[in-house]
Structure 1
Amino acid sequence: MNPLWPQVRRVLKKTLPPDQFTQWIEPLEVTTLKSGHLVLQTPSRFHYYWIHEHYLSIIQSCCRKIDSKARVLLQMPDGQRKSSKTLRPFIGNVPLATTFLTSQTFENYVVAPFNHFAFAAANDIFYDGNPKFNPLFIEGPPGLGKTHLLHSIGNGWQASNEGIAAYLSCRNLLVYGPSIPAGPYEALWQTLSTIKILLVDDVHQLPAEGGFQQQLREIFNWCYDTGKQMVFAATRLPHQIPELSSGLRSRLGWGLIVRIQEPDIDDCHQVIESFLGATKVPVSEDICRYLAEQGPLNFHEIKDFVEKLQEIVEKEGTLPSLKERSLGIHASTTPRPERLSIQAIQKEVCAAYDVSLEALPGATKSRPLVIARQAGMYLSRKLTGSTYAAIGSSFGGRDHSTVIYACRKVRAEMRRNRPFAERIVEIEKKLLEVYREETLVKSRN
């Protein structure tokens, strides 16, 4: 062994805490000292990038105190080295994105009561250099701005030169296949050593197979230990995603969890007005209100409606004046596939809570019936394309405001009561399994 390294080790042993020295410095092996370079080999890729990020400057400083001309180089184990010029950062076969949609920024995000808390938390990530929570987990229904917030954070970081932000949608992992090749894995860790914030979308679609969860857990540990900010988004809370490992579910809840609520009529009205306000199409108040009352609406559907409305104005030179015309535009821009029926949901909910199907739409207010009724409304809203009014009609002619209240009540209880949440998730899972089987049979016929 070259005599320089033992001397450097002795200095490092006095400088670093014992546990850090044992874990990170002791495994290093000197391979050679040539041309003034002390070459240290690490036992693994992970070790290489951790040393490079945290200890290389300290080792270099100690080395120069002993030999002012010597320089320290790190080397990976044989068979694990590959030219970084040929590598791109991947999770599995899916590349991490370091560019973001310029159309999705904080400035054009529509803030309303149903999403203001999530918006404020995302803003805090961007504006506060040392946020008080890590990770941030954003949960909410599809199409209500979770991805927009992630891209807003990414755009903000890139524009302010705060550092590199990286984005991954777990949805793509389902498309690109399960393998985790060594080369891209190496490139992934190279990229992680340079980023300042990691944005992970569609966590509820993270595959259980293929090693993705183990890899994401390693990435989480790396980012958390090195103080790199993480933001996750999903349509369900961590404990409501049964496909996730217990370790990941626990970690995703370490920081702050914020929810984007189901928008009510006033929220939808505000969003519609905001989208229309960005155009030159003056739509009357009654049409905006009428559309908001139809539901369910999300940002994508509202944007499609506004674009369709603009096309009509450009072609015909006039605005649709009838509410029916506006509703027709809405329906044509939001085609929905065949969904579960409300009746099927009611039947499954009654079986789960052991209540009478005949009594479900009635006026009886016993606790089991009330819970089953609210759960049925919530699942009908989530799993079908039905409006609040249509759901209310199927539950004994109840008003749409009752359905909105039931949806919020169930969501609040799911956050507070884990057994309750697990039962709702189990009912949903059974319904989807039955639906898939029926769809498969129909496709074969």
Structure 2
Amino acid sequence: KEDVIATVDMARRAMRLIGSDRQRVYCVYGPEVQAVYDSRDFVLINFKRALDDGDIKPFFQPVIRSLTGQIHSFEALARWNDPDRGTIPPSQFISILEETRQIHLLDLEIFRQVCQLQQSCQRMGLPIPVISVNISPVDFNSCDIVAEIEKIRNQYQIPSKYLKIEVLESVIVSAPDQLKEIIAQLHDLGYEIWMDDFGSGYSSMNNLKDFDFDLLKIDMAFLENFTENSQSKIIISEIVDMAKRLGIETLCEGIENRSQSDFLKEIGCQYQQGYLFAASMEPDELRNFLGEAGQQLENVSLSDYYSQIDRVNVLSNPTHSLAEQNSSLGENIDVPMAIVEKDGCSINYLYFNHALKRLLAIAENGQAVSAENLAKTPSVDKFLLEQMDRCQGKSQAISASYEEGGLHVKIRMRWLASQEKSSFVCIVTSEHYQE
């Protein structure tokens, strides 16, 4: 009953939906197929209008530093809220814009709105939030993306240290030479480059050898069936260990529960992101939050200090120098350790691993004692402060012994960093310790 040309066009549309899915043998044209193309047509017809009308804007999801629990930065996520259709998920417009080579218009508009928000925070006397922004591989061929980014940043006078650039790992396959050049240009301008969705299907160890990334965002797929699947923990641990040895930071996204978060801190993953901490915020919500955040927000002036501490590889012997840690490949020993911070005459435990908790419990003859409380007694604090003074500013680790009330331990301590406060890593051994 249909025109032959129209019928063939319908069949072609159904065929295109199969794509590269080898498990689908055929697709019949019907309302579901038509709905997909109606959605596609809506995006193509209304995208530029939505940009002009302000219907597309960034939402901001916090990124948490595992070591302190403070918010280190925010990721800008594009959201389209149509007056008639309501929220349009990114999955319904990102791929279409990439296919039609319009994605650079979206990426640059999100970048512009991010810089505009940062400028407004500065003028309101609020902390300037550090924000990461995604750019698509398609941008590389659609415009001079580096020049366009710089033009926007300079317009709003935002220092590049407040902006991180996220690039999908798939770009390495599609445009490796361009990516190397763009990373070099952005680094020269002071930006950090983050690899997004590491492990999502394109992963190759050569990517880390050949490209100078500052941070890996570990794909959330690794967290599926996390509690039941021990293989996920092994893989994530190995990624973090490898990245630490290469001098690359790690961020795991999709964190939904405390057990995932605790595990990531235990293995030394520097950053976490997910609904456990907060949902994404609209620009006005973010400004309100920044006005009340207080100690929840990391002071940008201390970011380098905490990053130095975060370079410690807790999956190897942390009292060794970084060069020695990198040479002890595959060591991954279960070392009882803590990372302690000296603030005046007080001590703050930034990291306290399970091996140390077990050690102190055994040292107390198996009694149910909180390891953290045991370590924070005045005599232990006094002992540690004395060793910190000995260790301060030295490149080599120092050793010392402590004995009181039947507790006999030896520590080895190494200075990590100083800026207003000083931090140290120490490992603990005891003659009472049993495997």
| TM-score where L is the length of structure 2 | 0.24
Q: Normalized per residue, which structure has more helix?
A: 1
Instruction: Give the number of the structure whose alpha-carbon radius of gyration is greater.
Output: 1
Q: Normalized per residue, which structure has more strand?
A: 2
